[in-house]
Structure 1
């Protein structure tokens, strides 16, 4: 698995340099997500991921383990990961869903955002976090 990542990283760098976005399939995306969450020091624990279609939307869903004290950092990390991955995926995702678990005794929180809106903040940096939270983010539960 590490060998696959070591081969993918140089390809990503070359693609970025030449301004052509690579496109990866769901299996490759799953591997990249797991490695990204494993390698980043500030990453919450990745419990799982799903890619599915729901009511005409193509959804990328992540489930993470967080703490109440780190909920904002976990939220930003999760949506950043989904926005970046959606940018290099062969699948055209239209919605991102983040399910945050807080241990055994608390109900999970579910956060949603349209991918295009999240990309405006996480990929294009065309608006700030407050605008993303106000215009793009919906949170339920927890």
Structure 2
């Protein structure tokens, strides 16, 4: 019983701040059409709460709005979007977006798989 309590406590603590990674959805190409209609201000706020001192919020919002409507950007993964921007010399046009892409690309992959983490956490709690 005590061992299980420690395991549950540690798992809960480990995943308690995973909601801070919701900003990863800002560059989820499958949601660009939705974001084109309604800008994800709440998700942007999550990013700015943790990393606001690295970004110009108004410029980042403008740059994101541009890529949400651009057909060349719509179906690209984060890696391919970064590659596209760099190969077409667009990093000067989209400096804030470039910073966001670099931030996302440097987050360890284990942190990026939020949905899988929640699923795993649920299975462990169910098992216990």
> Fold conserved (TM > 0.5)?
no
Relative to its length, the structure with more strand (as a share) is 1
If asked which structure has higher relative contact order (CA below 8 Å, sep 6+), I would say 2
TM-score by length of 2: 0.27
Relative to its length, the structure with more helix (as a share) is 2
